[in-house]
Amino acid sequence: MTAKNPLLELDNISKYFGNVKALENVSTKVLAGQVTCVLGDNGAGKSTFIKIISGLHKPSSGKYKFEGHEVSFESPREARSLGIATVYQDLAMAPLMSVWRNFFLGSEPMRRFGPINVIDAKFARKTAKEEMAKLGIDVRDVDQPVGTLSGGERQSVAIARAVYFGARVLILDEPTSALGVRQSDLVLGYVRAAAARDLGVILITHNPQHALPVGDRFLILNRGQSIGQLEKADLTYERLIELMSGRIHAA
Instruction: Give CA–CA dist 210/156, Å, rounded.
Output: 16
CB of 107 to other proteins, least distance (A): 7
Q: Which of 97, 183, 207, 223 binds other proteins (CB under 8 A)?
A: 97
CB of 1 to other proteins, least distance (A): 17
83: left (phi over 0), alpha (psi -120 to 50) or beta: left
Q: Which of 2, 43, 136, 209 binds other proteins (CB under 8 A)?
A: 136
Examine residue 178 and tell whether it contacts other proteins (CB under 8 A).
no
Instruction: Determine the interface stretch with other proteins among 6-14, 63-71, 104-112, 203-211 (rule: CB under 8 A).
Output: 104-112
Examine residue 198 and tell whether it contacts other proteins (CB under 8 A).
no
Nearer Cβ to other proteins, position 30 or 139?
Answer: 139
Task: Select from 91, 95, 96, 123 the least CA-distant residue to 107.
Answer: 123
Specify whether the CB–CB gap between 41 and 221 falls below 8 A: no
Residue 236, classed as helix, strand or coil, is coil
Instruction: Give CA–CA dist 19/50, Å, rounded.
Output: 20
Nearer Cβ to other proteins, position 12 or 81?
Answer: 81
Nearer Cβ to other proteins, position 119 or 250?
Answer: 119
Examine residue 168 and tell whether it contacts other proteins (CB under 8 A).
no
Return the number of other C-beta atoms located less than 10 Å from residue 1's C-beta: 9
Instruction: Determine the interface stretch with other proteins among 9-17, 57-65, 131-139, 216-224 (rule: CB under 8 A).
Output: 131-139
Examine residue 56 and tell whether it contacts other proteins (CB under 8 A).
no
Residue 68 amino acid letter: G
Report residue 197: phi and psi, to 5°.
Answer: -90, 25
Contacts of 131 (CB under 8 A, 6+ apart): 103, 160, 161, 163, 164
By the criterion CB under 8 A, which residues form the site for other proteins? 77, 80, 88, 90-97, 101, 104-108, 110, 116-119, 121, 133, 135-136, 138-141, 143-145, 148, 189, 192-193, 195-196
